[in-house]
Amino acid sequence: MKILVTGGAGFIGSNLVRFIIKKTEQIVVNVDKLTYAGNLISLEDIEDNSKYTFEEADICDFDRIKNIFEKHSPDAIMHLAAESHVDRSIDGPSEFINTNIVGTYNMLQVSYNYYRKLESEKKKKFRFLHISTDEVFGSLGKEGFFNEETPYNPRSPYSASKASSDHLVRAWYHTFGLPTLITNCSNNYGPYQFPEKLIPVVILHAINRKQIPVYGKGDNIRDWLYVEDHVRAMLKVLEFGKIGETYNIGGKNEKTNLEIIHTICNILDRISPLTKAEKYSSLITFVQDRPGHDMRYAIDPGKIERDLGFSPEYSLEKGIEYTVKWYLSNQNWCNAVIKNKYNLERLGTL
C-alpha cells in the first residue's frame, strides 16, 4: 500500500512516517509545505529509504496537489497537515483558516476526483483519514468526557478551523461518497515536537535555566497521549475503521498543567540535577492566562477500544521520562528547528 501523508515533516507526521517506514511494509509519500513547524531534519534517518518520497507542497495549492496524486497514485490518504498552535491562532487566525479549512477542502476535492476514476478493486480499498483534535468539543467541567457524539463547541480560532475541517470531511462522505474516517485525539507529546507546546517549552526553559511560564493558576486539565501510541491508533483506524465513522483517541492520562510541569522538574532533578540545594521547580513562574483558555479536556476512548482493540502502551510517567531524555540528548535538533523561527517567547497575548 502507498500512503500519502500530509504534514509528514511536523511533530506527529514525522513520527507517523518514521513508524510506517521502519515497522511496516507500506510506502510513504510525504507532502509538506515546510512551515516553521515542519523540518526535514526530523526525518534524516529515513530520507534515503526506498519506500519513502518527499514532495514539498502547500495543500492550499490545488493544482500542485492534483499533480502529486497523478504522479504517485496513492492507495490511502492520512491528512495531518494543519496549523495547530492555539496561541499562534490568536496572534494570526488567517493562516489557520487557509490551511485547515481551504487546504482540507483541496485535499478532499482532489481525493474525490482521483477516487472516482479508480478501478473497482482499488476503489474498494481507498481511504481518506482526517486527523483532528479534541479541542473541537470545547471545554469540560470537572466531570464527564468527550465521546464521538459530543456536540462541537470550539472556543479558539484554531479549534474552530479544525471543527470546520471535520465538517467538510463528513460532507464529502455523505454527499459524494468519499470513503472518509476521522480521528479526534487528545494532547500529544514526545520526540520531535516543535518547542512551542507545553512539554518541550518546559524542558527547554528548565535546562537553559530560564523561568518556566505557567498560564493562570496552572489548573487547566488535559488528557495526555504519547505520540507513538497515537501513531499506532491512526494506523489501526486506517486499516480497520468503519467508513464514515469517527474515533476518539485518548491516553487516559488527565493531569493539570502544573502537575505536568512538576513531573518534568522532578525527572530533571533526578537525571540532570542543578545543585543539591536548587530544584528546577524554583524556575516556575505564573503568568497571565491565555485568552479563552479551555478548562478541561478528557476523552472517552471506549469506541476505539471496543471496536478496534486499541489501547495505549505508554504510561504517562514512562512517556514523559523518555521525552525529557530525548530533548536532553537532542539539543542540536532543537537549536536547528527553532533557529530564526522561534525563541521560546510567549505567544497569544492580547
Is 44 a catalytic site residue?
A: no
Instruction: Name the amino acid, one letter, at 129.
Output: L
Local structure of 216: helix, strand or coil:
coil
- CA dist 99 and 81 (Å) reads 8
Residue pair 122/184 in contact by the 8 Å Cβ criterion: no
Q: Which of 105, 158, 173, 280 is catalytic?
A: 158
Q: Which of 83, 135, 229, 294 is catalytic?
A: 135
Q: Which of 32, 58, 83, 134 is catalytic?
A: 134
* Residues facing residue 78 across a β-bridge: 5, 129
Is 158 a catalytic site residue?
A: yes
In terms of C-beta density within 10 A (0-12 exposed, 13-18 middle, 19 or more buried), how is residue 152 classed? middle
- CA dist 171 and 162 (Å) reads 14
User: Biggest alpha carbon distance in the chain?
Assistant: 69
Terminal Cα-to-Cα distance of the chain (whole angstroms): 47
Backbone angles phi, psi at 54, to 5 degrees: -110, 135
Q: What is the DSSP string of 124-191?
A: HH-EEEEEEEGGGG----SS--B-TTPPP---SHHHHHHHHHHHHHHHHHHHH---EEEEEE-EEEST
Other beta carbons within 10 angstroms of residue 175's beta carbon come to 9
Local structure of 307: helix, strand or coil:
helix
Q: What is the DSSP letter of 276?
A: S
Radius of gyration of the CA atoms of the chain, in A: 20
Local structure of 193: helix, strand or coil:
coil
Residue pair 130/169 in contact by the 8 Å Cβ criterion: yes
Instruction: Name the amino acid, one letter, at 345.
Output: E
Is 135 a catalytic site residue?
A: yes
Catalytic amino acids?
A: 134-135, 158
